Structure 1
Amino acid sequence: MLALSDTQIATLVEQIVQLLVTRRQAAYRCTLDELANGLPRAAYLYHGTLAVTQVDAPFLRRLAALDRGVPTVAAVLAAWHYGMQVTLSLHPRWLCHVPVRRLANLQVSLCDDAGNPVHLSPGRLLGYRQVSTLTPGWLLLEPGALISPLAADVLAQGHLHWIRTE
Structure 2
Amino acid sequence: MPTLAPSQIEQIVEQIVTLLRQRERSVLAVRQDDLERGLNAAVWVRHAHLHIQQPTAAFMQQLACADSDWRAVQSVHEAWSLGVQVHVSLHQQLLPQLQVKALCALPLSLSDHRGTAVMLQAGQLVGRSELAGLHDAWLLTAPHTLLTPLARDLLRQHHIHWIRQESPSCN
| TM-score, length-scaled by structure 1 | 0.94
State the shift of 1:157 in Å: 1.6
C-alpha distance in 2, partners of 1:142/1:63?
A: 17
Q: Is the 8 A contact 2:86 2:108 kept in 1?
A: yes
| 1:157 matched to 2:167 | no
C-alpha distance in 2, partners of 1:159/1:5?
A: 60
C-alpha distance in 2, partners of 1:27/1:83?
A: 13
Q: CA RMSD in A?
A: 1.3
Q: Quote the sequence identity (%).
A: 40
Once the two structures are superposed, what CA deviation does each residue of 1:123-159 show, in whole Å capped at 9, x if it has no partner? 1100011001224311101111110011111001242
Which is worse superposed, 129-138 or 95-104?
129-138
After TM superposition, list the pairs within 5 Å mapping 1:46-85 onto structure 2: 46-85=46-85
Alpha carbons of structure 1 residues 4 and 73: separation in structure 2 relative to 1, 3 Å: same
After TM superposition, list the pairs within 5 Å mapping 1:16-165 onto structure 2: 16-165=16-165
Query: What code does the residue aligned with 1:45 have?
Result: V
Which is worse superposed, 104-113 or 155-164?
155-164
Q: Is the 8 A contact 2:135 2:158 kept in 1?
A: no
Which is worse superposed, 145-154 or 4-13?
4-13
Query: What code does the residue aligned with 1:87 have?
Result: H
C-alpha distance in 2, partners of 1:153/1:146?
A: 13
User: Any unmatched runs of 5+ in structure 2?
Assistant: 167-171
Query: What code does the residue aligned with 1:153 have?
Result: D
C-alpha distance in 2, partners of 1:8/1:57?
A: 52
Which is worse superposed, 37-46 or 104-113?
37-46
Query: What code does the residue aligned with 1:105 have?
Result: A
Q: Is the 8 A contact 2:61 2:98 kept in 1?
A: yes
Query: What code does the residue aligned with 1:144 have?
Result: H
| TM-score, length-scaled by structure 2 | 0.92
C-alpha distance in 1, partners of 2:140/2:12?
A: 46
Aligned residues: 166
C-alpha distance in 2, partners of 1:36/1:142?
A: 29
State the shift of 1:2 in Å: 2.0
C-alpha distance in 2, partners of 1:9/1:116?
A: 45
Which is worse superposed, 141-150 or 50-59?
50-59
**SS of residue in 2 equivalent to 1:123:** coil
User: Any unmatched runs of 5+ in structure 1?
Assistant: none
C-alpha distance in 2, partners of 1:33/1:158?
A: 36
